[in-house]
């Protein structure tokens, strides 16, 4: 126990075991836990250290057990039996270790969720990592507050069906529905289920951040009675089935030159490829080659075959050339910054689309600084006057 002795003193251990007051023993417990957690322990030393932790976990004073739970809440040093013992303790003792300890297995956490009261379920729902098995248990057995906490935790892993079941079980809970809606990623089926269930503000967030089907996107975009509208360009960038999306738009005469140009200006090249392929009745792989690998005449050929207006070809050519001259740099907000740069360069090309499309693209620049946006607007207005 040489290493453990180096980390502790005999006086520390005597105080822990025989301290006259709970305060003294709690102070010794915190000191011992910090030193043990920082020490490099051999297998023998680790066993001795864990025996010391078992002494703490049996202390009659709540503050001693609380000191153990708080100080070693994220440490793998805590023995499994001690972690389970602390999980059954009073709230001040159980909540820190339930919320962070890596010692618990999924089976442990599922059982605690199944049998525990809401406050313990919430602590588990907020853990730094929550597996699909545990979120399944929370949705099946958890109180509303626990399900809300799990859904609000983007580090909680949900199976698609589990999220769908959470929405069905708590379809009248604004808190749970909002927590689901504001997750970083949502299955399409869950998004579409939520659209008709949540408040207008949350609904706008869903439509602006998550994918929905082509059918629903078009229905909302065309429905004047709807509380919110869908930007089909944004949905084009989010959809996981671009081919089906453009096919549906064409069936409803919404796959227009304006829509394709707006999408191109925001860097949605895949949508442009499939859109031109659909309109030109050319296989996607051939369209891709004509746009990217066939020299200056390839884009013109597939563009003309698609029946798009000759007056807009220059704008499409400028957009494709701008796209080819740029790359994602792999940094934070990569896609957003790429789109900002794409819009900037697209809008400052000598040839651009009509006023309505330009106004739309300028609106997309709102996330840039006011000075930058004003500069782009000046250049766009100058071009308008020159062409008037």
Domain that holds residue 118: 105-198
Identify whether residues 67 and 138 lie together within a single domain: no
120 has a pLDDT exceeding 80: yes
Whether 183 maps to a domain, the answer reads yes
Global pTM value: 0.60
Identify whether residues 184 and 312 lie together within a single domain: no
97 has a pLDDT exceeding 90: yes
| pLDDT, average across residues 175-198 | 84
How far the first Cα of the chain sits from its last, in Å, is: 89
Identify whether residues 149 and 75 lie together within a single domain: no
* CA separation for the pair 20, 270 (Å, rounded): 73
Whether 203 maps to a domain, the answer reads no
Whether 236 maps to a domain, the answer reads no
> Using the 8-state DSSP alphabet, how is residue 366 labeled?
G
| Res 154: pLDDT | 92
Task: Give SS3 for 285.
Answer: helix
Identify whether residues 90 and 125 lie together within a single domain: no
Total tally of structural domains belonging to the chain: 3
| Res 248: pLDDT | 81
* Final residue belonging to a domain, choices 49, 76, 97: 97
Pick the more confident residue, 274 or 49: 274
Identify whether residues 75 and 120 lie together within a single domain: no
CA-CA distances (angstroms) from residue 312 to 282, 296, 318, 347, 364? 20, 16, 10, 14, 20
* CA separation for the pair 326, 320 (Å, rounded): 10
| pLDDT, average across residues 340-356 | 66
Identify whether residues 30 and 90 lie together within a single domain: yes
Identify whether residues 277 and 353 lie together within a single domain: yes
Whether 27 maps to a domain, the answer reads yes
Residues 6+ apart with CB under 8 A from 153: 125, 126, 127, 130
Structure tokens that stand for 167 in this block? 């929405």
Whether 227 maps to a domain, the answer reads no
Whether 257 maps to a domain, the answer reads yes
Asked if residue 262 lies in contact with residue 233, where contact means CB atoms within 8 angstroms, the answer is yes
Identify whether residues 84 and 12 lie together within a single domain: yes
| Res 324: pLDDT | 82
Whether 232 maps to a domain, the answer reads no
Identify whether residues 188 and 257 lie together within a single domain: no
Q: How many other CB atoms sit within 10 Å of the CB of residue 257?
A: 21
Task: Give SS3 for 253.
Answer: coil
Pick the more confident residue, 194 or 217: 194
| pLDDT, average across residues 58-83 | 89
* Final residue belonging to a domain, choices 37, 64, 97: 97
Identify whether residues 153 and 47 lie together within a single domain: no
Q: Which neighbouring-strand residues pair with 130?
A: 156
* 293 torsion bin: left (phi>0), alpha (psi -120 to 50), beta (else): alpha
* CA separation for the pair 292, 56 (Å, rounded): 68
Identify whether residues 366 and 265 lie together within a single domain: yes
| Res 4: pLDDT | 47
* CA separation for the pair 217, 233 (Å, rounded): 10
| Res 129: pLDDT | 95
| Res 122: pLDDT | 97
* CA separation for the pair 273, 285 (Å, rounded): 9
Q: pLDDT band for 77, please (50, 70, 90 cuts).
A: confident
Q: How many other CB atoms sit within 10 Å of the CB of residue 74?
A: 15
* Final residue belonging to a domain, choices 46, 69, 97: 97
* CA separation for the pair 23, 29 (Å, rounded): 10
Residues 6+ apart with CB under 8 A from 191: 206, 210, 211, 212
Tallying the residues shown for the chain, one arrives at 388
Pick the more confident residue, 160 or 229: 160
Sign of CA dihedral 123, 127, 132, 133: negative
* CA separation for the pair 279, 44 (Å, rounded): 73
318-352 in b/e form (b: 16+ CB < 10 A) is bbbebbeeeeeeeeeeeeeebbbebbbbbbebeeb
Q: How many other CB atoms sit within 10 Å of the CB of residue 388?
A: 5
Q: What is the mean pLDDT of the chain?
A: 79
Task: Give SS3 for 75.
Answer: coil
Identify whether residues 174 and 44 lie together within a single domain: no
| Res 323: pLDDT | 81
264-278 residue pLDDT tens: 877 888 888 999 999
Whether 239 maps to a domain, the answer reads no
């Amino acid at each position: 126990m040489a290493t453990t002795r180096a980390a502790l003193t005999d006086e520390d251990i005597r105080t822990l075991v025989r301290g006259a007051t709970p305060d003294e023993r709690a102070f010794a417990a915190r000191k011992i836990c910090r030193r043990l957690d920082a020490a490099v322990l051999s297998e023998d030393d680790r066993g001795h250290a864990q025996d010391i932790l078992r002494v703490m976990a049996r202390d009659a004073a709540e503050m001693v057990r609380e000191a153990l739970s708080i100080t070693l809440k994220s440490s793998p040093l805590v023995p499994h039996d001690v972690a389970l013992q602390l999980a059954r303790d009073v709230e001040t003792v159980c909540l820190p270790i339930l919320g962070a300890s890596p010692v618990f297995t999924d089976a442990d956490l599922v059982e605690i969720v199944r049998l525990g009261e809401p406050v313990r379920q919430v602590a588990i729902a907020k853990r730094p990592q929550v597996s699909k098995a545990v979120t399944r248990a929370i949705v099946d057995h958890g109180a509303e507050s626990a399900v809300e906490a799990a859904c609000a935790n983007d580090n909680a892993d949900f199976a698609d069906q589990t999220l769908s079941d959470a929405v069905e079980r708590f379809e009248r809970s604004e808190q749970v529905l909002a927590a689901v809606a504001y997750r970083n990623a949502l299955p399409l089926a869950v998004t579409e289920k939520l659209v008709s269930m949540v408040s207008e503000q949350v609904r706008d967030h869903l439509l602006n951040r998550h994918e929905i089907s082509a059918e629903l996107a078009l229905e909302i975009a065309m429905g004047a009675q709807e509380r919110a509208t869908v930007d089909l360009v944004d949905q084009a960038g989010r959809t996981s089935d671009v081919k089906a999306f453009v096919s549906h738009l064409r069936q409803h005469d919404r796959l227009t030159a304006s829509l394709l140009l707006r999408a191109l200006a925001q860097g949605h090249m895949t949508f442009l490829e499939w859109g031109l392929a659909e309109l030109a009745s050319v296989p996607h792989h051939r369209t891709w080659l004509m746009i990217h690998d066939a020299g200056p005449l390839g884009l013109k050929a597939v563009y003309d075959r698609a029946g798009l207006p000759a007056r807009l070809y220059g704008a499409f050519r400028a957009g494709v050339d701008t796209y080819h001259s740029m790359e994602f740099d792999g940094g934070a907000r990569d896609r957003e910054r790429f789109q900002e740069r794409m819009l900037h360069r697209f809008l400052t090309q000598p040839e651009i689309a009509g006023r309505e499309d330009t106004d739309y693209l300028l609106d997309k620049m709102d996330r840039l600084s006011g000075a930058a946006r004003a500069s782009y607007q000046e250049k766009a207005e100058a071009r308008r006057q020159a062409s008037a």
